[in-house]
Amino acid sequence: MKKISLVTVMTVCLTASLATAGGVKGVFKIKGAAPAPKLQVKQGDTEVKDTAVCAAQNLFKNDLVVNQDTGGIANVFLYMKKAPSGADFKAPAKKTLVFDQKNCRFVPHAQIVRTDQEVEVISSDGIAHNFHSYPIRNTPQNILVAPNTQAGQGTIIEFDGPEILPMKVGCDIHPWMTAWWMVVDHPYAAVTNEKGEFEIGELPDGTHDFRVWHEKAGYLEKKLEVTVKGGKVTDLGTMEYEPSVFEE
């Protein structure tokens, strides 16, 4: 496997006591009715490159994914800029994360990547793609991804340090394909699921500052203060945002 190392720097922020470990959870939602999904690629559109694969089905924009039943906002990043000094946290459950390309879509669209993990870039599509990263601190990468690349055959991406914002990933061959990675050197980060839910564990008692970011809106919260006491999980409940926040 080919290995690529991405080198970086990092910033600060947090006060905490490391006596006990708790957590934080919550839900991000949009106010009012959920916006209808917008068509991006129409099924059978012969003007789309690699029509047989990329237009095999309708593709809807995934830069704002809102649950039609609950209003939950998917793919919201919540992360701490820096872990508490002396924090003792576990190794990640998975050493290697798989980043796939299916039907001309990156899968997953948004993910947390720790610096003690690696990402294997593969492709389930029978056509060529490329992986083009747009980091702030790291060296950009632009590699060709061969068709039908299976796990164990892909390109391994490794990180020596964290990013300060989620990093965009794109495909120059199919420009509607985008994804976002938040690279951190600790476990205090999460991305919301399809219902807008998140949970972060292993937090020491104390007051912690988190950043909340979404690709359409940028910062939803530049400083979200969370207090953890007695090793318990702090429930932030539901945080709602006007649809106008996500408008272009």
7-26, pLDDT tens digit by residue? 432 333 333 344 468 999 99
Please give the mean pLDDT across all residues of the chain.
91
Q: Examine residue 226 and state whether it is found in any structural domain, yes or no.
A: yes
Q: Examine residue 131 and state whether it is found in any structural domain, yes or no.
A: yes
- Taking only the tens place, the pLDDT of each residue in 195-234 is 999 999 999 999 999 999 999 999 999 999 999 999 999 9
Compute the half-sphere exposure of residue 113: CA atoms within 13 Å on the CB side of its CA.
Answer: 32
CATH code, 115 = 2.60.40.420
Sorted by sequence, the CB contacts under 8 Å of residue 95 that are 6+ apart come out as: 116, 117, 118
Sorted by sequence, the CB contacts under 8 Å of residue 181 that are 6+ apart come out as: 110, 111, 112, 113, 119, 133, 163, 166, 167, 169
CA–CA separation, 24 vs 191, rounded Å? 13
Q: Examine residue 247 and state whether it is found in any structural domain, yes or no.
A: no
pLDDT at site 21: 80
Q: Examine residue 237 and state whether it is found in any structural domain, yes or no.
A: yes
Q: What is the mean pLDDT of residues 178-190?
A: 97
- Taking only the tens place, the pLDDT of each residue in 83-121 is 976 677 899 999 999 999 999 999 999 999 999 999 999
pLDDT at site 20: 65
pLDDT at site 19: 47
pLDDT at site 92: 94
Compute the half-sphere exposure of residue 38: CA atoms within 13 Å on the CB side of its CA.
Answer: 8
CA–CA separation, 53 vs 115, rounded Å? 33
Residue 199: Cβ within 10 Å count: 14
CA distances from 14 to 113, 219, 241 (A): 20, 18, 26
Q: Examine residue 54 and state whether it is found in any structural domain, yes or no.
A: yes
Q: CB of 196 within 8 A of CB of 70?
A: yes
Q: What is the mean pLDDT of residues 184-188?
A: 96
Strand-pair partners of 10: none
Q: CB of 73 within 8 A of CB of 28?
A: yes
CA–CA separation, 68 vs 62, rounded Å? 14
Q: Examine residue 248 and state whether it is found in any structural domain, yes or no.
A: no
Q: 114-148 b/e with 16+ CB inside 10 Å = b?
A: bbebbbbbbbebebebbbbbebebbeebeeebeee
Torsional sign, CA 197, 200, 206, 209: negative
Q: What's this model's pTM, rounded to 2 decimal places? A: 0.90
- Which residues form the domain of 148? 3-242
Q: Examine residue 52 and state whether it is found in any structural domain, yes or no.
A: yes
Range in 1-5, 131-135, 144-148, 150-154 with the lowest mean pLDDT:
1-5
Number of structural domains (the chain) is 1
CA distances from 208 to 158, 182, 221 (A): 28, 18, 13
pLDDT at site 87: 77
- Taking only the tens place, the pLDDT of each residue in 141-167 is 999 999 999 999 999 999 989 999 999
Q: Examine residue 70 and state whether it is found in any structural domain, yes or no.
A: yes
pLDDT at site 85: 66
Polymer length of the chain? 248
Terminal Cα-to-Cα distance of the chain (whole angstroms)? 40
Percentage of the residues of the chain whose pLDDT score is greater than 90? 87
